[in-house]
Amino acid sequence: MSAARWFLPAASAVLLSGVLMASQEEAPTNEKRSGLDYVSPETRAMQEDDTSNPGMLWVLDGETLWNRAEGENGQSCASCHGDAEQNMRGVAARYPVFDTDSKFPVDLQGRINQCRQARQKTDPLEYESDALLALTAYVAHQSRGMPVAPGADSRLAQFHENGRRLYEKSIGQLDLACSSCHDERAGERLAGAIIPQAHPTAYPLYRLEWQTLGSLQRRLRNCMIGVRAEPYAYGSLELVELELYLMSRAEGLPVETPGVRP
């Protein structure tokens, strides 16, 4: 009777040491890891099944909006861009890009609003509105599984450099830079949560804490408020520069939109 009982602790001890060894082997921090690698198995399962991923509600809305005529010309996104599944594939993997008209970098949300104003002749959508998040998520979703591949555009160099500077600059009353946590302490804990490497490959993503979809800009502002700094405004150049730098850091990781995070 007791043979099995004796055996069990021994077996679990062996198992435990196996787990410890595995986690030590995973230690090298130069290895890029998506934030998905740090979430609980339940959250991961929620993201990976499209019928349980709440972000898919926005993706479906985005598909409706993509085909809806807006503005005085009565044009929809599809009027010019056609089938998003074909023509938007890979777009999110290379954004933000250089905008030749304004001579500034533009992210996906900025591009959608630019298109609305210049081509559809209608009002831009408000940041974090369901409509803008839905369209952005729908476009980004077309690149799911593709590696992040920022183009080498020399016109972006100064903005990229500024993004890196912002990432490494200490801010706020807590005097912390993005890099203080996401480079120097990635994989360690901030209270109950594991600090990810800050690869923004799943945006817009569904954050369980927000109970809604949110953009990368919301996430960045969130962190700035967290270190008690004054956050940059939605749509500001600084946030786009940070996005630009972060996407270049994430090069090669697959796009996950819509992601699910705690």
Partner 1 sequence: MARTLVNVPETARAGEIIEIKAMIAHPMETGHRVDAKGATIPRNIINRFECVYDGATVFAADLYPAVSANPFFSFTTVATRSGAIRFIWTDDQGAVETASAEITVT
Binding site for partner 1 (CB under 8 A): 51-52, 54, 56-57, 60-61, 63-64, 134, 208, 211-212
Strand, helix or coil for residue 261: strand
Which residues, other chains included, contact 247 with Cβ-Cβ below 8 Å and sequence gap of 6+?
95, 96, 148, 150, 200
**Residue whose pair of structure tokens reads 């435990």 in the numeric block:** 16
Instruction: Give the Cα separation of 146 and 254 in Å (integer).
Output: 5
Measured from the CB atom, is 57 or 146 closer to partner 1?
Answer: 57
Smallest distance from partner 1 to CB 65, Å? 8
Nearer to partner 1 among residue 78 and residue 186 (C-beta): 78
Q: Which is nearer to partner 1, 57 or 194 (CB)?
A: 57
CB of 53 to partner 1, least distance (A): 9
CB 144 within 8 A of CB 247: no
Active-site annotation holder among 77, 178, 181, 223 = 223
The answer to whether 253 touches 199, Cβ cutoff 8 Å, is yes
What the block records as the tokens of 134 is 């839905």
Q: How far is the CB of 39 from partner 1 (least distance, A)?
A: 16
In this complex, which beta carbon is closest to partner 1, that of residue 12 or of residue 64? 64
* H or E segment to which residue 98 belongs: strand 97-99
Smallest gap from Cβ 154 to partner 1, in A, equals 42
> Please, which residue, 63 or 128, has the CB nearer to partner 1?
63
| Amino acid, single-letter form, for residue 222 | N
Of the candidates 185, 198, 172, 214, which has an alpha carbon nearest to the alpha carbon of residue 58? 214
Give me the least distance between CB of 187 and partner 1, in Å please. 28
Cα angle: 208, vertex 211, 216; to 5 degrees: 75
- Least separation in angstroms between residue 210's CB and partner 1 is 9
Annotation marks residue 181 as catalytic: no
Three-state DSSP string of 152-184? CCHHHHHHHHHHHHHHHCCECCCCECHHHHHCC
Element of type H or E holding 190: strand 189-190
Nearer to partner 1, 60 or 157 (CB): 60
Q: Which two tokens stand for residue 66?
A: 């993509």
Q: Tell me which residue has tokens 């994430």.
A: 250
The residues carrying an active-site annotation are: 223
